[in-house]
Chain A
Amino acid sequence: MIGTILAACGAVLVAVGTFGIVRFRDVYSRLQASGVSDNAGLALVLLGAILHEGWAPTDWTLLFLLLLMLITNPIATHSIAKSAFVQRHTGEDSP
């Protein structure tokens, strides 16, 4: 029951974040929407999948997947942001 509630909260967060990604103007605003909502929302969804119908042996794998996504997702977002920033300020068409 509580797993379903957590997963529903995560789905709402992911839907709001997708709306933000589609509606925002430039790449930094989109990174803001994507980074925050993907981390929180997908972590809530995976937590809901872990707590779904008690504790099973495969939940260790789900926990590892949750840790992996919590570690790699901010790194990917920061890498994209740094790439856009550096290229904008040192690239060929920089102002």
Chain B
Amino acid sequence: MSVVEGVLLATIVPLLLLLVKAPTAWDRLLAYNSAANRVTAVLAISSVLSNRAVLLDVAIVYAALSFIGVVALARFMERGEGFR
């Protein structure tokens, strides 16, 4: 299970690079969405491995807040007033 955690942490790194140098704003938003999903899964696995139930609540709040942020940014950029 810790190998799975390491693989998930390693896949965050190219997404963060893409978050810096992607061509359009939607690519960056997509990279942020994927990185947030991986962080949620890493928190869940870490809570199972170390028997800390608090990290599960942190994971739920993180997933909900990242979902709200991504949808709000997407709806904001849909109207053409967003940043390129």
Residues of B within 8 A of A22 (CB): 14, 18
Say whether B4 faces chain A, with CB atoms less than 8 Å apart. yes
Shortest C-beta distance, A33 to chain B (Å), equals 9
Q: Is the interface of B mostly helix, strand, loop or mixed?
A: helix
Q: Are B40 and A65 in contact (CB under 8 A)?
A: yes
Shortest C-beta distance, B77 to chain A (Å), equals 5
Q: Give the A-binding residues of B (Cβ under 8 A).
A: 1, 3-4, 7-8, 11, 14-15, 18, 24, 26-27, 29-31, 33-34, 37-38, 40-41, 44-45, 47-48, 53, 56-57, 59-60, 63-64, 67, 70-71, 74-75, 77-78, 80, 82
Residues of A within 8 A of B74 (CB): 76, 79-80, 82-83
Residues of B within 8 A of A21 (CB): 14-15, 18, 30-31, 34
Q: Are A30 and B64 in contact (CB under 8 A)?
A: no
